[in-house]
Amino acid sequence: MLTAAALVFAAAPAYADAKAEDGRIGLSVYGKGLRVNDVGAHMEGHGTGVRARLITYTPKGYRSELTGWKDATPVTAALTKLSTVGWKWKGGKTFPHGTKLCVEFNTVSGEPCAVIHR
């Protein structure tokens, strides 16, 4: 989660594992096939009141909030300052084929997404 994710501006595949970035926001998805076990996200920089939530888009484009807002934790590694947040589902969470799993932060624009597929 603290390492730089592969630079991807469009949706990245989430077969097993995926990483995506959009502007100052990064997303890491860990799982297998249609089941996601862990999701981590980071935003460049620190701030007061930084929060994030997960959003899904169905294959038909319908948007829904998967999680509520969660407080991010400020992390400093050498000269890099990040705000990080993570979600873990015991036993994993299954999504329909083609679902986009995205993250958004309340303080910056950008919404990186990973496509969940077989």
pLDDT in tens, 16-31: 567 888 889 999 999 9
Residue 5 pLDDT greater than 90, yes or no: no
Q: In the chain, what are the domain boundaries?
A: 12-116
CB atoms within 10 A of CB 96: 11
Asked whether the beta carbons of 37 and 89 are under 8 A apart, the reply is: yes
Name the pLDDT band for 39 (thresholds 50, 70, 90).
very high
Bridge partners of 103, per DSSP, are 54
pLDDT tens profile 41-53: 999 998 889 999 9
Percent of the chain with pLDDT over 90: 70
Percent of the chain with pLDDT over 70: 86
CATH T-level fold of 12-116 = Immunoglobulin-like (2.60.40)
Report CA dihedral (36, 56, 111, 78) to the nearest 10 degrees: -30
Record the pTM: 0.82
